[in-house]
Amino acid sequence: VPFLHFELCYYQAIDYAIAHGLARVEAGAQGEHKLARGYEAVPTYSAHYIANESFRSAVADFLERETQAMEREIEFLGDMAPFKKG
């Protein structure tokens, strides 16, 4: 069924939030296509424990660089958001 994914995963969530007075809907991580469906890019967070110290250090190094890249991406996507500013 064309667009069924968007109907179920996005539009129904928005309708539910409006009907129940919810202030926000979390659409999940990733996906520039969400801008066209009314979702703005926002940071998402997760917490994981990595037991191996060497691997944990490598992941921490990557995440430090990835965080900076995501902040720039969110700012860039914010300029394309479908909502009026200010």
Residue 39 and residue 27: Cα distance in Å, rounded? 7
Residue % of the chain over a pLDDT of 90: 40
Residue 15 and residue 29: Cα distance in Å, rounded? 20
Higher pLDDT, 56 or 79: 56
- Confirm if 40 and 79 have CB atoms less than 8 A apart: no
Domain residue spans of the chain: 4-78
DSSP structural state of residue 66: H
Q: What is the pTM of this model?
A: 0.62
Residue 37 and residue 15: Cα distance in Å, rounded? 12
Closest CA relative to residue 24, chosen from 39, 9, 5: 39
pLDDT score, position 49: 95
Residue 54 and residue 39: Cα distance in Å, rounded? 37
